[in-house]
Amino acid sequence: MPRILIPLAQGCEELEAVTLIDLLRRAGMTVISAGLDAMPVRASRGVVLLPDTTLDEVLDQEFDMIVLPGGLPGADYLNQDARIQTLLKTTVAAGRYVAAICAAPKVLASAGLLAGKRATSYPGVLNAISGLHFVDAPVVIDGQVLTSRGPGTAMEFALAIIETLLGIAQREAVEAQLVRG
């Protein structure tokens, strides 16, 4: 099963973080949530999240995908963390996937991973970034890079990740359990 790393920064968007962790685990993936430090993470709306581990503890491990939740100031903290920048670049260089939602696509842009790519984000986040093609869609997949708009698209984003890594049948199986329609 795929191994997924979800870094959690102080001020992340809890709806995105929890939705991603939950749905990817429902699909049978190994999901590791890692705090940037050893502290509990106070998300953007005050919900306290307890990461599985710290980022330092998993830096030498390989993951099939790194998924960045958005929210502010969480996405800014991810963007300022040299470890995150290095992980994103080495993951793509190894032929694996990166994904970001809401304000977090700017972290991918800072790492140089959106140059020439189609991408989406929370409104306004990618406006000042040149070299990418902004797409106003809930989820955008361009090669090894997946992006999404915000809290309201978190479930669709998680399902797109499942489909990308495990196929349409697994996506449909997880989606059926959610009773979305």
CATH code of 96's domain: 3.40.50.880
DSSP letters spanning 95-106: T-EEEEETTTHH
Q: Is 80 exceeded by the pLDDT of residue 181?
A: no
The position carrying tokens 């984003």 is: 157
CB 105 within 8 A of CB 119: yes
Please give the mean pLDDT across all residues of the chain: 97
Q: Is 80 exceeded by the pLDDT of residue 128?
A: no
In the chain, alpha helices (H): 14-26, 55-58, 74-80, 82-93, 105-110, 154-166, 168-178
> Is 12 annotated as catalytic?
no
Say if 28 falls within a structural domain: yes
65-68/97-101 β-pairing: parallel
Q: Which of 8, 66, 102, 104 is catalytic?
A: 102
Domain count of the fold of the chain: 1
How much is the pTM?
0.97
Say if 64 falls within a structural domain: yes
What is the predicted pLDDT for the residue at 42? 98
Q: Is 61 helix (H, G, I), strand (E, B) or coil?
A: coil
Q: Is 90 exceeded by the pLDDT of residue 156?
A: yes
Say if 181 falls within a structural domain: no
CB 89 within 8 A of CB 110: no
- State the residue range of the domain holding 111: 3-176
